[in-house]
Amino acid sequence: MALRGVWQLQKLVVNYCDWGGSSRGIRAFMESHLPALKEKNPQLEVVTQLVRGQHPNLKGIYKNHNERVVCVRNLAPEDIMLQASRLRCSLGRKVVKLRTRHVMKRPSVQGTWTTELKM
């Protein structure tokens, strides 16, 4: 995704195995969909790495030095393309878990209202 006009995904690393059965889909993806992905995204550096004996994955490296790894074991080439586009469209920020469901600037002194309060 572009933040202020700058694409945040710098590098997409495709790890695969050349003989493993779980890498069958990513090998087909590299033949059919990867050249089109490189053409449509000239700002993106795409690297393929042969890692024998490991399940395939996609690793996105972002400008804010964060990494996201997505396992693509036993996926079809179309599903792998969907995962690659999700990596491209995300900002690379860490997921922040909220403490409560209610987000407010000034929390109540009495506490959060629940249905289990006694009257």
Identify the structural domains of the chain with CATH numbers, from first to last. Answer: 17-89 (3.40.30.10)
> Residue 50 is which amino acid?
L
DSSP 22: G
Over residues 5-10, the mean pLDDT reads 93
Q: CB–CB of 22/55 below 8 Å?
A: yes
Token digits of residue 15? 């790890």
Residue 103 pairs with which residues in a beta bridge? none
Q: Please check the confidence at residue 102 and state whether its pLDDT lies above 70.
A: no
pLDDT of amino acid 52: 95
Q: What is the pTM of this model?
A: 0.79
Q: At what angle do helices 24-32 and 77-89 cross, to 10 degrees?
A: 70
Sign of CA dihedral 23, 27, 29, 30: positive
